[in-house]
Amino acid sequence: MTGPVPTGAAPTDPGALRQRALDALTAARARTATLTSCVDDHDLTAQHSPLMSPLVWDLAHIGNQEEQWLLRAVAGRDAMRPEIDSLYDAFEHPRASRPSLPLLSPAEARRYAAEVRGRALDVLESTPLEGGSRLVDAGFAFGMIAQHEQQHDETMLITHQLRTGPAALSAPEPPPGSTADLPREVLVPGGPFTMGTSAEPWALDNERPAHHRIVPAFHLDTTPVTCGAYLRFIEDGGYTDERWWEPKGWAMVRRHGLTAPLFWRQEGGQWLRRRFGVTEPVPLDEPVLHVSWYEADAYARWAGRRLPTEEEWEKAARFDPASGRSRRYPWGDADPTSEHANLGQRHLRPAPAGAYPAGASPLGVRQLIGDVWEWTSSDFMPYPGFVAFPYREYSEVFFGPDHKVLRGGSFAVDQVACRGTFRNWDLPVRRQIFAGFRTARDA
């Protein structure tokens, strides 16, 4: 059944919402500039992997989506460049074919995106954010576009990871962490909790509506599975033992000769990885990264455990046993800070397991937000009462058993596109994304 969410939510005052939208749009554009100014035009127009678009496509697509929703849909203005709409339609052109399109040059893409942004800020200033259409109430359209740009910034960061050549990005190291004083797992009590949201102003359609779930008690890893733990799976023959694998996952391992996570290699008896143009020893205390759902599931089976369901993950992340309510985040209702979570490309790697004690859930689970996306066992399905808004292609066309749900965000995700209710999804074969996992077991 559905019901209200008894949590504190993001601001609803029009002035505060307007400032929040401005801040979110500005932060997204600054990050886009960082990702597209650190390489030359050749790297911007090249396709670094058939799995990804050229960076310049993402840049112009960001501008085109902003124009379509904020200038046309919200402000009712005429199209600036209607002839390019089809070029930057993600459903019309698969990523592998985008380099062959007559795309805007890097200079043209920058000019176009900048002109759109200037006009969009005028629209933000003049548009009432309450009492209007659902699209503009609480500044939803502006928040949606900020989230969209940050999601493409994450996609562009993945492209940077796939790109060969010297490092183009840099960032400080994340804070230290330790699991020495932490239990291996936490008991999450059984019973009802409120999943999803009907109150978060910028929540996307697949996060809605709030509804009640009854989840049996279960145990969940206190931290994500580390590279060191995953290495034990490798050394125990995990990639050569069919017992641990889903049939399609085993076929993937055999077809591609997989022996370790993407970007890992063994050299001179040592495991190394490539990270944004730098080769370094695999850090044993860091959450494992760049593993597919099939690899995560195989590890969990090998360990005598399983991946958590999506509802288990959200209950662990949001449920407060003392009050019985669902929080916005594990630590409470306040927006994330650098003390809570590794978000926003502040660092270019996950923090060691056990970091961010201020971001722990009431039950003591660490790093549920940020660091690595976490695979769950769940298929991407609509919640009871789901309504597509503002367009079917964001969520609805992906529902079904082909896509698995990921939760929690990663170091590559900005806080505007990451919350306790936020749902990500991808194909179970995907390895280039910033995904790891944690395991669970029945209580």
377 is in an annotated binding site: no
pLDDT at residue number 12:
65
Expressed in percent and rounded to 5, the helix, strand and coil fractions of the chain are 35, 15, 50
Residue 8 has pLDDT above 70, yes or no: no
Q: What is the DSSP string of 388-410?
A: --S-TTTTGGG-EEEEEEEES--
pLDDT at residue number 3:
34
Q: By CB neighbour count within 10 A (0-12 exposed, 13-18 middle, 19+ buried), where does 317 fall?
A: buried
98 is in an annotated binding site: yes
Percent of the chain whose predicted confidence (pLDDT) is above 70: 97
pLDDT at residue number 132:
79
430 is in an annotated binding site: yes
Tell me the average pLDDT across 290-307: 98
- One-letter amino acid for residue 401 of the chain: P
Residue pair 267/273 in contact by the 8 Å Cβ criterion:
no
Instruction: Tell me the CA distances in angstroms from 289 to 228, 293, 350, 437, 442, one per residue in order.
Output: 12, 11, 8, 8, 25
99-136 pLDDT tens trace: 999 999 999 999 999 999 999 999 999 999 987 799 99
Residue pair 442/309 in contact by the 8 Å Cβ criterion:
no
Instruction: Tell me the CA distances in angstroms from 384 to 381, 392, 422, one per residue in order.
Output: 9, 16, 16
152 is in an annotated binding site: yes
Cα distance between residue 370 and residue 120, in whole Å:
29
Q: What is the DSSP string of 136-203?
A: TGGGHHHHHHHHHHHHHHHHHHHHHHH--SS-----PPPPP---TTS-SEEEEPPEEEEES-SS-TT-
Question: 131 versus 181: which is more confidently predicted?
Answer: 181
379 is in an annotated binding site: no
Q: Please name the helix (run of DSSP H) or strand (run of DSSP E) that holds residue 374, with its range, or none.
A: strand 373-380
311-334 pLDDT tens trace: 999 999 999 999 999 999 999 999
Q: How confident is the model at residue 11 (pLDDT cuts 50, 70, 90)?
A: low
Tell me the average pLDDT across 150-177: 97
402-412 pLDDT tens trace: 999 999 999 99
